[in-house]
Amino acid sequence: MHDTLPRLQQTDFPAITRHTLQIVQVNLGYLCNLSCSHCHVNAGPKRTELMDKATIDLVLDFVCKHNIHTLDLTGGAPEMNPHFKYLITKARELDVNVIDRCNLVILQEPGYEDIAEFLAANNVEIIASLPCYLEDNVDKQRGKGTFNASLVALKKLNTLGYGQPDSPLKLNLVFNPQGTNLPPEQNALEQAYKKYLQEHYGIVFNQLFALANLPIQRFGSMLISKGLFNDYLQLLKDNHREENLDRVMCRNTLSVDWQGYVYDCDFNQMLHLPLGSHGMATTHLSALINDSLKDATITVGQHCYGCTAGQGSSCGGALQPHNTALA
Ligand code: SF4
Ligand code: SF4
């Protein structure tokens, strides 16, 4: 795989600093039931990296001390971490909102059949990746049979109350473009997804998050192989919108890897770009327990234009609330 970092570190992206920390995004490990072609953490069934109980307790301690309102769980398949239920139970006792970034298929795997009920009982928000509403496209990206397994999981979640009007159980879906274009306008795409899934399968959900692909890891490497890296970066830069800068997710989110090391965002984690406030030193969560990150410098690179291009892109979807169209 081509290393994209040398092409990203020299940057003219504007300098930005942190606001109040509100969200901690935790990568519980790289073990996954799937091996998707687009996976930006190279997760799969043979990976053994998993966050241990001591680090999970440290995360809980940090969340408590910093008054964090949302814990965002990712992986791999976060459900495959043996301490997944423990972490959620404790976080909910602290009245912290929990998000599970779920690949849906895991909810059908042997040994995980009770996870959907557990998530519902603990009022955990589910953000599920469904890269397309067409079977061929999903199976191509995630493996044969994954589209149908995802539909079964979505129907089960709907039965439990997820995504239903007036239900507190939130079910949001994630879309990424398949090619080298920016995501289409989020609201229009959400309407298309809702119409198709309702009409064909009777499935409902709350919101669709349309995310841009950042030129890192496998996607970045593919761009280099095809000689498209500079063109894609130029597309992101040409569509940069200054007003998105204030809402990029690193302003209020901290990213923690499976060993407890911290980064300004998940993308910087994948690039091993250390936390901006601590120079070039790798920082562990334990060093930040009594440290406010407010106004701290954020480590930026050329990939950051992926967050500010067009309608903007973050873990919670477009940054422009009413999607004032792409440039
Ligand atoms: S489900 Fe997610 S974490 Fe697992 S291989 Fe696919 S993209 Fe990677
Ligand atoms: S890539 Fe990360 S550091 Fe850069 S703007 Fe986006 S969230 Fe912030």
| Rounded distance between C-alpha atoms, residue 137 and residue 242, angstroms | 34
CA of 10 to the centre of ligand 2 (A): 15
DSSP class of residue 169 equals -
Angle among Cα 252, 213, 222 to the nearest 5 degrees reads 140
Residue 89 falls within a domain, yes or no?
A: yes
Rounded Cα distance, 101 and 34, in Å: 14
Q: Is residue 76 part of a domain?
A: yes
| Ligand positioned closest to the Cα atom of 298 | 2
Whether 45 is covered by a domain: the verdict is yes
Which ligand 1 atom is the nearest neighbour of the CA of 42?
8
- Ligand 1 atom nearest to 75, measured from its CA: 3
CATH number where 56 lies: 3.20.20.70
Residue 322 lies in a domain: no
Can you give the pLDDT of all 327 residues of the chain as single tens digits? 889 999 999 999 999 999 999 999 999 999 999 988 767 788 899 999 999 999 999 999 999 999 999 999 999 999 999 999 999 999 999 999 999 999 999 999 999 999 999 999 999 999 998 877 888 888 887 888 889 999 999 999 999 999 999 999 999 999 988 789 999 999 999 999 999 999 999 999 999 999 999 999 888 988 999 999 999 999 999 999 999 999 999 999 999 999 999 999 999 999 999 997 666 678 999 999 998 889 999 999 999 999 999 999 888 888 876 544 333
Q: Are 170 and 126 in contact (CB under 8 A)?
A: yes
Nearest CA to ligand 1 atom 5: 35
- Which ligand has the minimum distance to the alpha carbon of residue 45? 1
Per the structure, the complete domain to which residue 45 belongs is given by 5-308
Across 76-205, where does the E strand assignment appear? 97-102, 125-129, 171-175
Q: Whole-model pTM?
A: 0.94
Q: Indicate whether 123 belongs to any domain.
A: yes
Ligand 2 centroid to residue 299 C-alpha, Å:
8
Mutational test site, ligand 1, from 27, 39, 127, max ligand atoms within 8 Å of CB: 39
Is there a contact between 42 and 27 (Cβ–Cβ < 8 Å)? Answer: no
Residue 317 counted as domain residue: no
**Is residue 195 included in any domain, yes or no?**
yes
* Count of domains observed in the chain: 1
75 lines ligand 1 (CB under 6 A): yes
- Overall residue count recorded for the chain in this entry: 327
* Residue 324 included in any domain: no
